[in-house]
């Protein structure tokens, strides 16, 4: 008695795989096309926006630092008083 069941299963699996390969290739092409046409440009736009935000934040930080430096130079005793008060408040908060 010959057991053809494993052979039939193997043949069926090969047939299904052969039928699925062109469909998989088509789907792969569609995914690659979508990535190239939509996802990659969108990621590029997001990266450009992030770079702009970082550049603007950096510029603003430099400007604020320059203003603070001018204020400290113009009113050094007030700056020392504010720093001492801030240190006192932080020290009290850290003890709790």
63-80: pLDDT as tens digits: 999 999 999 999 999 999
Residues of the chain under the 70 pLDDT cut: 1-4
Count of the separate structural domains present in the chain: 1
Q: What is the CA radius of gyration of the chain?
A: 34
Residue with tokens 């995914």: 31
Cβ distance 94 to 86 under 8 Å? no
Greatest pairwise CA separation for the chain in angstroms: 105
pTM of full prediction above 0.85: no
Cβ partners under 8 Å of residue 72, min gap 6: 79
Please report the pLDDT score of residue 48 as a whole number: 93
Domain that holds residue 57: 5-95
């Amino acid at each position: 008695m010959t057991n053809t069941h494993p052979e039939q299963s193997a043949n069926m699996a090969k047939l299904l795989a052969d039928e699925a390969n062109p469909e998989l290739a088509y789907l792969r092409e569609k995914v690659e096309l979508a990535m190239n046409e939509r996802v990659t440009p969108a990621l590029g736009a997001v990266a450009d926006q992030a770079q702009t935000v970082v550049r603007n934040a950096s510029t603003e930080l430099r400007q604020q630092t320059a203003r603070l430096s001018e204020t400290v130079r113009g009113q050094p005793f007030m700056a020392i008083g504010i720093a001492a008060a801030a240190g006192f408040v932080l020290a009290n908060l850290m003890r709790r």
